[in-house]
Structure 1
């Protein structure tokens, strides 16, 4: 059991460290939600964080690093931090106003980066027939001379959120991380 807790703690620390290294642009000027050309991920996930903080659900969280997996039932103390990767993927920055191709149908809205250097490559928002969000998928990537990171973030309101990250660092090699959390 002590070994499991060490693996779980080490996995969380590694995942957090990787996230800190790969995040860019958090100090950018935020756009006004009234004039945002794209779906407002930041506003949506801030609202979800507030709602989940008040609801305080139990979460069955599975953390995996390079095939070693642990599962625990937890209560999230800070949903703002828990959903930070989703919030950081917001593309409503003034400089990016014309940087994404928009495709939409009645139930699906997709933003695809035109510029290959942008961190957030694609956002897909899926809605049900009543217009309620069923799923949000975000695909991020960061690539430079030292490392390459790919992320897939999935969020199903009141059900599940998942983060899958593959990272290749020069000298160190490849690491695979996954976090799946079932909201009850």
Structure 2
């Protein structure tokens, strides 16, 4: 077993390195560290609104359109967090993106515009009245060699939400989706 002793140092070193990497990968998000967010907190906004909507449990007139064919139903949404998934996935508060958006602030609106073409979320416009969000618009765009997807998301609290998605895949026909939920 003379060959084992030199390797034991490498095994301990490698194990320690893996443990350190694992610890670093499990670091908490920005909000959990107490750091302030640079941009509007979409995740917290929709989390709060989802809790409010769960308590209200409203009937929603939901229309789903795919390539021009529509279907409308009145439904109860069981999971508002999932329903607002595309909105929350457009969150721009990632540490790597802290200087990636131009901010324009007016008395009644706040706009974030992407500075770099590779960013999925291209624009967020938030309209407010007395500090309360009255309208939220998000434009997402994904473009690569295989497909192009454009998402337009609109939320007017207490009135409706709209998800418009246009997808073009190379060598195939395009798909257009529209989801509208009216309170």
User: Which TM-score band applies after superposition, normalised by the shorter structure?
Assistant: 0.7 to 0.9
Structure 1 residue 34: Cα displacement: 4.6
Q: Give the match for residue 116 of structure 2.
A: 115
Aligned to 1:79: 80
2: CA distance, partners of 1:167 / 1:62: 19
CA–CA distance in structure 1, aligned partners of residues 114 and 172 of structure 2: 29
Q: Which of these two proteins has the greater Rg computed from alpha carbons? A: 2
Q: 1:55 offset after TM fit, Å?
A: 1.2
Paired residue secondary structure (2:161): strand
Match of 1:155?
Answer: 155
TM-score (norm 2): 0.82
Displacement, 1:121?
A: 0.2
2-structure distance, mates of 1:30, 1:145: 32
2:132 match: 132
Q: Find the aligned partners of 2:46 and 2:144 in 1 and give their Cα distance.
A: 28
> What is the alpha-carbon root mean square deviation over aligned residues?
1.4
> Gapped runs of 5+ residues in structure 1?
1-28
State the Cα distance separating 1:35 from its structure 2 match: 1.0
- Quote the residue 2:30 is aligned against: 31
**Higher RCO structure, 1 or 2 (CA under 8 Å, sep 6+):** 1
TM-score, normalised with respect to structure 1: 0.81
Give the Å deviation of 1:169.
Answer: 0.6
d(CA) in 2 for partners of 1:180, 1:50: 20
Q: 1:182 deviation in Å?
A: 0.3
Partner of 1:80: helix, strand, or coil? helix
- Secondary structure at the counterpart of residue 54 of structure 2: helix
Runs of at least 5 residues in structure 2 that lack an aligned partner in the other structure: 1-27
1:121-161 CA distance string (max 9 Å, x none): 00000011x22111000000111111100000000011100
Distance 1:126 1:160 in 2: 15
Q: How does 1:1-184 map to 2 (within 5 A)?
A: 30-32=29-31, 34-128=35-129, 130-183=130-183
